[in-house]
Structure 1
């Protein structure tokens, strides 16, 4: 299982940009759709002051809101 989890939702341009920027490395992450996963939605709201901001990326247990794709790529490469 990946140490990188990406919380996303359909129609999110930032989520699409992140996925595209990751290229084939995107398959190494665990992707959770907050519109289909209530636990994921609650998690994202919990780490973003009640807001459902995506992408929220968890790397080694630390949440990053809309991180630079290079940060996520580096985590997926390690």
Structure 2
């Protein structure tokens, strides 16, 4: 779990260092803007923007019951972040599996992506779709509910 926080922590620390340098050079406005930009990037790359993850087995059980897609993701993945942001509020109703926290989820992703942990991988009715278009995912979700 700790490795999920490494990129956001590095962004926050880097932003603090860059902002401190600007502040010492007499540019407080630039320092504040840079610090805010780095902190925003740290927030976006953190696991906090994703819905609560569940185990792959639980996601498969729930998906079989309600027909909603399963999204396999990992923290720091820009494609996962893009998908999450583009899905908006409806993302919370999908089943999210963090492959860094769930070995069965990582194995499921590797099984359908030639041994690679390529995410986001979305499972719809048992069919894998690697890095799908967010509009397509939204369409699959709306048709399953």
Fold-level match, TM-score > 0.5? yes
Matches of 1:22 and 1:56, distance apart in 2: 14
Instruction: Tell me which structure has the larger Cα radius of gyration.
Output: 2
Query: Could you say which residue in structure 2 is the equivalent of 1:18?
Result: 83
Q: Give the alignment of 1:23-62 within 5 angstroms.
A: 23-62=88-127
> Deviation above 3 Å: which 4+ runs of structure 1?
none
Matches of 1:69 and 1:36, distance apart in 2: 24
What stretches of structure 1 of length at least 5 have no aligned partner?
Answer: none
Of structures 1 and 2, the one with the larger relative CO (CA 8 A, separation 6+) is 1
Comparing both structures, which one devotes a greater share of its residues to helix?
Answer: 2
Comparing both structures, which one devotes a greater share of its residues to strand?
Answer: 1
What stretches of structure 2 of length at least 5 have no aligned partner?
Answer: 1-61
Query: Could you say which residue in structure 2 is the equivalent of 1:7?
Result: 72
**Alpha-carbon deviation of 1:61?**
1.2
CA RMSD of aligned residues (A): 0.8
Aligned length: 78
